[in-house]
Amino acid sequence: MKKDLTSIADLNREEIITLLDEAEALKQQVQQARVVELARGKMGVLIFEKPSLRTRVTFERALHQLGATSTYLSPTDIGLGTREGVSDIARNLSRWVDVIIARVFEHEKVTGLAASASIPVINALSDTEHPCQILADLLTIRQHHGTLDGVTIAWTGDGNNVCHSLLLAGAILGLKVNIATPRGFEPNNAIVQKGKGYAEKSGAKLNLTYDPCAAVQDADFIYTDVWASMGQESEAEQRRQIFRAYQVNRQLLARAKPTTKVLHCLPAHRGEEITDDVLDGPQSVVLDQAENRLHVQRALLARLLKNG
């Protein structure tokens, strides 16, 4: 496994499956012992340019359950790339701590930290990708479907960072991924082409469409996210009009199989990209997704800190 996780594509198929297996095993160990001393005496730093509930709590909790400690740096604490250069920050932190967990706007800040740091750097979200979220999603899918083999996932909404990581992960693992977006909101073409390259080797099927009904027809899982991500608030009203047909509601769910499950990485804008009756309904597995952030990140930290 590489030193860093800046993209889900930093992992191959075997490494993804191994991490999921280790996440399940560590979950059982922690339930029995509360703390597993795999990273005792080590420390992680969380650099967050964006607010967070799940990401901050699960990373800090995971570090503590491994016997490590953590410290949190807000945007005003360091001014990543403004008050002080990314490379200078990375080199300084490498002298004091053992892992950098970065939640940022520009993806280049994550890759810049990774390039200059001698310690592992984890992308806890950037505008381009969200690899830790997708690891949690894959664990959730495997728990509910029994296997990742033959799974079909439908994405409906914006071709955003979560969509990018889902597309790449599906391509690496050989899954079928149907992505439905409005025109002009497709996933980044460079990501799509990269995914197609992986798909040629794995046998994955990547389908891009503008029709959400067609995307969900054969889906085992339907996945959506907010229509306006952090930093896009000024576009929110315009996007509500454009994305209306992509809402995950009872009507769209009826187009899928009765056994289809619903995914959402949260936070949700209830009544926009998803309705209350679906988000809180029997086909929703979103709270399992949220819990699994803790389990996959704990496994990821254990692996990276052990390697370090």
List pLDDT tens digits, range 233-283: 777 788 999 999 999 999 999 999 999 999 999 999 999 999 999 999 999
Please check whether residues 122 and 245 belong to one and the same domain. Answer: no
Torsion of CA 208, 211, 212, 216, to 10 degrees: -70
pLDDT band at 308 (very low <50, low <70, confident <90, very high): low
Q: Give catalytic residues, as residue numbers.
A: 103, 130, 133, 225, 265, 293
User: In the block, which residue shows the tokens 């969900």?
Assistant: 216
- Whether 48 and 174 have beta carbons less than 8 Å apart is answered as no
- Whether 100 and 120 have beta carbons less than 8 Å apart is answered as yes
Percent of the chain with pLDDT over 90: 89
CATH number at residue 190: 3.40.50.1370
Residue 32: what pLDDT? 85
Please check whether residues 281 and 144 belong to one and the same domain. Answer: yes
76 assigned to some structural domain? yes
- Whether 181 and 161 have beta carbons less than 8 Å apart is answered as no
Residue 236: what pLDDT? 79
When divided into structural domains, the chain yields a total of 2
**Alpha-carbon span 209 to 141, nearest angstrom:** 23
Percent of the chain with pLDDT over 70: 98
**What residue numbers bound the domain in which 149 lies?**
133-289
pLDDT band at 231 (very low <50, low <70, confident <90, very high): low
Please check whether residues 282 and 137 belong to one and the same domain. Answer: yes
**Alpha-carbon span 60 to 85, nearest angstrom:** 25
The answer on pLDDT for 170 being more than 70 is: yes
Residue 225: what pLDDT? 97
Please check whether residues 82 and 224 belong to one and the same domain. Answer: no
Residue type (1 letter), 148: L
Lowest mean pLDDT among 79-83, 181-185, 187-191, 230-234: 230-234
